[in-house]
């Protein structure tokens, strides 16, 4: 059996997806996850600290342009089981990423670090950060199923 050269998706694969739109959908998904965790408040086995810190820093300020997706999710997912299913999908997608992809994903979308800050934190280079970030974005969107909402942005 042939061994993969890298743990990340190739540029050929990731360049076939709308990365910028995927980024927008991920940010909206983080907001929705924060709302659902706040509504449930039952202390499930979820680690909400990273999403909660995102919400405190960025979730409440400024006008959102992409509230169409939020409306679809939030209005259609009022039942507790549906919210849990959404959160399970989010966490399954997140935990399907390898360790480096998780680190870059959190640094990019939750901690809102710049590329230079990420490079300094993980002692790597900008090319590697871009490869890892794109791979994480595509894997997360496809695994969570949020890629089907790209056409709404």
Whether the CB-CB separation of 144 and 92 falls below 8 Å is answered with yes
CA separation for the pair 32, 46 (Å, rounded): 15
CA 39 to CA 140: how far, in whole Å?
Answer: 24
Pairwise CA distance, residues 82 & 97, whole Å = 23
- pLDDT tens by residue, 18-60: 999 999 999 988 988 888 888 777 554 445 454 544 334 434 3
pTM: 0.74
- Please report, for residues 85, 108, 118, 120, the alpha-carbon distance to residue 114 in angstroms, rounded to integers and kept in the order given: 32, 7, 6, 10
């Amino acid at each position: 059996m042939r061994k993969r050269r890298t743990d990340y998706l190739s540029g050929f694969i990731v360049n076939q997806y709308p990365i910028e739109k995927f980024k927008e959908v991920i940010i909206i998904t983080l907001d929705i996850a924060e709302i659902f965790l706040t509504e449930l408040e039952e202390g499930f086995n979820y680690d909400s600290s990273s999403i909660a810190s995102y919400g405190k820093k960025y979730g409440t300020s400024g006008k959102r342009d992409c509230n169409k997706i939020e409306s679809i999710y939030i209005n259609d997912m009022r039942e507790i089981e549906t919210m849990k299913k959404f959160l399970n999908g989010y966490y399954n997608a997140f935990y399907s990423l390898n360790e480096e992809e998780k680190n870059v994903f959190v640094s990019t979308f939750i901690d809102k670090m710049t590329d230079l800050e990420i490079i300094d934190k993980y002692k790597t280079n900008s090319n590697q950060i871009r490869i890892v970030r794109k791979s994480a974005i595509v894997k997360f969107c496809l695994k969570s199923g949020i890629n089907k909402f790209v056409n709404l942005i």
